[in-house]
Structure 1
Amino acid sequence: MTSTLSPTGKLSVVEKIGYSLGDLAANLIFQTLLTFIAFFYTDVYRIPANAAATIIFLGGLAGACFNPLMGLIADRTVTRWGKFRPWLLWTAIPFGLISILAFSTPDLGDNGKIIYATLTYILLMLVYSANNLPYSALSGVLTGSMQERNSLSSYRFVAVMVAQLIIQVLLLPLVLILGGGDKVEGFRNTMIIFAVAGTICFLVAFATTRERIVPTATQRSSIGQDIGDLLRNKPWVVLLLVTILVFVTLALKGGLYIYYFKNYLSEAALAQFLKDIGFIAFIEHLNAALVSIGLTRFQWPEDPATSAFSLFNGAGIICMIIGIGFSSPLAGRFGKRNVFGAALLAATLFMLAFYIFPPTSIGMVFGSQILHGFFYGITIPLLWAMIADVADYSEWKNNRRATALLFSAMIFGLKAGLSIGSALVAGLLSGYGYDGAQATQPQTVAEGIRVSISIYASLPFLATVALLYFYEINKSAEHRIEQDLLTRRAAAAN
């Protein structure tokens, strides 16, 4: 390996922020899929829940299967910009355009709508792979310092949290505002704004980053060697399973929250809670101010479930951002694996608590979400930093580096988890008898949502904690691998 790193391996703040904008762009779309794709299909495009489950699963499967191929392509890309950076440039505009198409609602009849949704969702998953896989792999070649990777992960996942805040707090109100109460028009107009903003962010990320960890001219490996290295990499196998399980839970709970607020929690209790904490008075003053300056269309919706859902997500995300701030120093002291496992277990316990909350215990619901968000926030940067460490582990063991292939496998896990979790949302709703065309759902739906959002969503997280026992890269191993690779790279550069 050769490297143009400074002796300390430091990245500038500009480069860290620039790189993190790629996550902001991707997550404007990804977080929308994570939280609203089932709701969009069932309640906006009026596709039956069982058909929506099939679309989400097939689209996610197609994207997941494309990842290994994309990893092989990216690892073998040779341009004056590097291996991974150019893919940000090449996919920025297609990603934006396909995102708009995927959230458009042409009237094509019942079967036509299913076909259109399937095709656009598959296309979105494919272009997401072509964009996000090289972007993720880029973090493994910006610096060889594991400490700097921890810092970079914190920057990028603050950007993720900003995108999550926008989507989970503001998307539904924006949909109602920009559509004048029409969710069909509102989703289309909102996604146009997100697509334009995301395209700009990808281009900035391309312009502000540089690849520094590059293979030596003597490194040659076949596709078979790369895949063989991967399959013999025990930490990689563990992290692949961990990634799948984590994103099953994220998609399952994220997709169910909107249904939880609309169909399980008491609307009267939600309205009283919002009044008691001063939110209603705040919104009344906000709407009055907007009207006074002529922005009559830009008024916060009056629906208690929408307001409470946005506030609930906002509180959780703010606490996640606080948790991210603790991630790097805790990992530096105790190691990524140990901190990830302990924090994820604590986050799971507060998610399990949703099982015991009655529909009127709004304060308890919010309190549990705040604590869940804080502990889960600690884990967020660590997963991707651990994936970069596994790339180093592979190089350390085999004297060969296939960064994009390794990241492609992890994004395969992400896509598989997202696909399974999102399909489970629609599948569980269908099994419990949910009908998006009905104003009031049966009691079995409400109870099913309660069980799904607590017990079912917690099981993959608990399995993840158990799997970490088999992950070999603890704090001492991190240090040994980093020092050995620095010595090798210095020798190769001379």
Structure 2
Amino acid sequence: MTEDSGRPDERLCATEKVGYGVGDMAANLYLGFFGLFTLYFLTDVYGVAPAAVATMLLLTKIINAITDPAIGLLADRTRSRWGRYRPYLLWCALPYGLTAILVFAGPDLSDNGKLIYAYVVYLLAMLGYSLVNVPYSALLAVISPSASERTKATQYRFIFAGLGTLVVGATARPLVDWLGAGDEARGFFWASILFGVAAVTLTWITFATTRERTAPQAAQASGVKDDLRALFSNVSWVVLSIGGVLLVVGLGTRLGSLALYLKYFMTAGPADVAGPVFLWMDRFSVFITLGVIGQILGTLSAPSLTRRFGKIRLMIGMNAIHGVLLIAGFFLTADQFAPALVLHGLGMMTFGVALTLLFAMFTDCVQFGEWRTGRNTAGLTVSSSLFILKLGSGLGAAIPGYILASTGFAANAEQSAQTLSGLRIITWIAPGFLLLGAAACMTLYKLDPTLLHRIEQDLRKMRQEGRGGGAAEPVLPGKA
């Protein structure tokens, strides 16, 4: 059964879909810069030991992840003339941009001072990101009651997310070189300013162009314990979160090590990295750019593929194909840059589909929770999902540093065979098996199109009658 396309008053206009989408472009200008360059900047530019950076990335992500459900609970209970979630895009955008700049400021400190500084500013940056991104993600669940319209909004979101990552991948490294004029630390600082200003501006555009269509019911009074109990009894949300963790750990491990893999394995040594290989882009920029183009193509194809295969089967298939492609990449030699580029591009196409489905399916879990309990806890559901995913991204960011430290990595030097082997494992093998695990996990997900259609119809009737959700003893195709 196809998903309901929604009534006219539930449909999103083009301006709103684009406006919602650019919010994730802002996030990817911001977080994309962190994801691609934090490990590189702190080890090769700022001079912090890889193992210390790995621990810092993991601990700060864990601390920050704990704050996400609190932000979600706060947002669920926020009432303003702008709604529950949109106000945070207005209020928190400026600190969100400012904290990003501090991470790449690189003040001249002692070794211990550099590490303490990295802990403080990275934690602040991730908190600033959460204060914007948790409400932004929750906004998707209330932007329309229609699952079809939410999927369309998700598609726009990840098209623009891909464009944001494309901009970072294609321009960040050249900008660092140009703005730094030989001083890499200075280049990273000024580049972070440009990306921070752009992220703030785009976030304000999202605030100005979107609205919340699903208002909280008057009877929706519940305690935090009740909300959490309802969330963790939603087995499909639990399954989706576990699968999402495996996906994010895999991609985080891969992307966090990619710059180092290209620098030390796919060249004869560090000196071979400099200089463009296509237009203004060096090898790393070309790699990231093609990957993002693949991700955008995957995002564009997600709706048509979903109509043909359904969300569940498509999610399983995309993760499985991606895992196989990554494992195949492990067997490439150092001079096979073009085949590595092709495997990366194809893998990111599958990732574009999977990521679009992941966030659309999280909002389906929100609708299921409202249908079953009568409470729309979009902020808690999405923030708890982000909590799980951030734990995954923390592990993904930390794993490369630990493995490199254990293999004797030395910055800006020729690497041992053991170190190069470790780079190959964390770039290809480890993420490949994690994605296969994500595919296996998704076989347990239960919210199929038939059930979602029933949920939409029931919730629409309940809202028209002016009462909360809470289907009486819902009959499910297996426990959802």
- Structure 2 distance, partners of 1:423, 1:113, is 18
- Structure 2 distance, partners of 1:493, 1:245, is 38
Question: Is residue 2:322 matched to residue 1:322?
Answer: no
**TM-score by structure 2 length?**
0.92
Give the Å deviation of 1:181.
Answer: 2.4
* Contact 2:86–2:207 (Cα < 8 Å) also in 1: yes
The one-character-per-residue Cα deviations of 1:93-148 (angstroms, maximum 9, x if unpaired) are: 00111100111100111010000000001111111111110000001001011111
**Number of the residue aligned with 2:228:** 227
**Number of the residue aligned with 1:144:** 145
- Structure 1 distance, partners of 2:467, 2:441, is 38
Question: Is residue 2:441 matched to residue 1:440?
Answer: no
**Number of the residue aligned with 1:473:** 447
**Number of the residue aligned with 2:433:** 459
Q: 2:406 aligns with which of 431, 434, 437?
A: 431
- Structure 2 distance, partners of 1:343, 1:172, is 30
Question: Is residue 2:380 matched to residue 1:379?
Answer: no
**Number of the residue aligned with 1:312:** 287
Alignment of 1:152-231 (within 5 A): 152-231=153-232
- Structure 2 distance, partners of 1:378, 1:206, is 26
Alignment of 1:121-132 (within 5 A): 121-132=122-133
| Structure 2 unmatched ranges of 5 or more | 1-5, 469-480
**Number of the residue aligned with 2:370:** 395
* Contact 1:34–1:254 (Cα < 8 Å) also in 2: yes
| Structure 1 unmatched ranges of 5 or more | 284-299, 301-305
Give the Å deviation of 1:409.
Answer: 0.5
Q: What residue identity is the alignment partner of 2:375?
A: R
* Contact 1:50–1:426 (Cα < 8 Å) also in 2: yes
Q: Secondary structure at the match of 1:139?
A: helix
The one-character-per-residue Cα deviations of 1:206-259 (angstroms, maximum 9, x if unpaired) are: 111111101111221111111110111111111221222111111100011111
Farther-moved stretch of structure 1 (256-265 vs 314-323): 314-323
* Contact 2:217–2:467 (Cα < 8 Å) also in 1: no
Give the Å deviation of 1:490.
Answer: 2.1
- Structure 1 distance, partners of 2:431, 2:260, is 14
Question: Is residue 2:309 matched to residue 1:334?
Answer: yes
- Structure 2 distance, partners of 1:22, 1:222, is 30
Alignment of 1:363-378 (within 5 A): 363-378=338-353
The one-character-per-residue Cα deviations of 1:12-32 (angstroms, maximum 9, x if unpaired) are: 110111111111111111112
- Structure 2 distance, partners of 1:375, 1:244, is 17
Between the two proteins, the alignment pairs up a number of residues equal to 462
Question: Is residue 2:456 matched to residue 1:482?
Answer: yes
Distance 1:271 1:430, change over 3 A: closer
- Structure 2 distance, partners of 1:224, 1:380, is 30
Give the Å deviation of 1:67.
Answer: 0.9
Give percent identity, aligned residues only. Answer: 35
Give the Å deviation of 1:169.
Answer: 2.4
* Contact 1:58–1:122 (Cα < 8 Å) also in 2: no
Alpha-carbon RMSD: 2.0
* Contact 1:35–1:251 (Cα < 8 Å) also in 2: no
**Number of the residue aligned with 1:53:** 54
Give the Å deviation of 1:266.
Answer: 2.9
Question: Is residue 2:407 matched to residue 1:407?
Answer: no
**Number of the residue aligned with 2:262:** 261
- Structure 2 distance, partners of 1:321, 1:129, is 24
* Contact 1:48–1:435 (Cα < 8 Å) also in 2: no
Q: Secondary structure at the match of 2:10?
A: coil
- Structure 2 distance, partners of 1:7, 1:446, is 57
**Number of the residue aligned with 1:491:** 465
**Number of the residue aligned with 1:296:** none
Q: What residue identity is the alignment partner of 1:29?
A: Y
Give the Å deviation of 1:439.
Answer: 2.6
Distance 1:93 1:492, change over 3 A: same
- Structure 1 distance, partners of 2:343, 2:394, is 26
Give the Å deviation of 1:373.
Answer: 2.0
* Contact 2:54–2:399 (Cα < 8 Å) also in 1: yes
* Contact 2:10–2:146 (Cα < 8 Å) also in 1: yes
Q: What residue identity is the alignment partner of 2:418?
A: T
Give the Å deviation of 1:6.
Answer: 5.4
**TM-score by structure 1 length?**
0.90
The one-character-per-residue Cα deviations of 1:390-427 (angstroms, maximum 9, x if unpaired) are: 00010111111111000111110121111111011111
- Structure 2 distance, partners of 1:176, 1:267, is 21
Q: Secondary structure at the match of 1:356?
A: coil
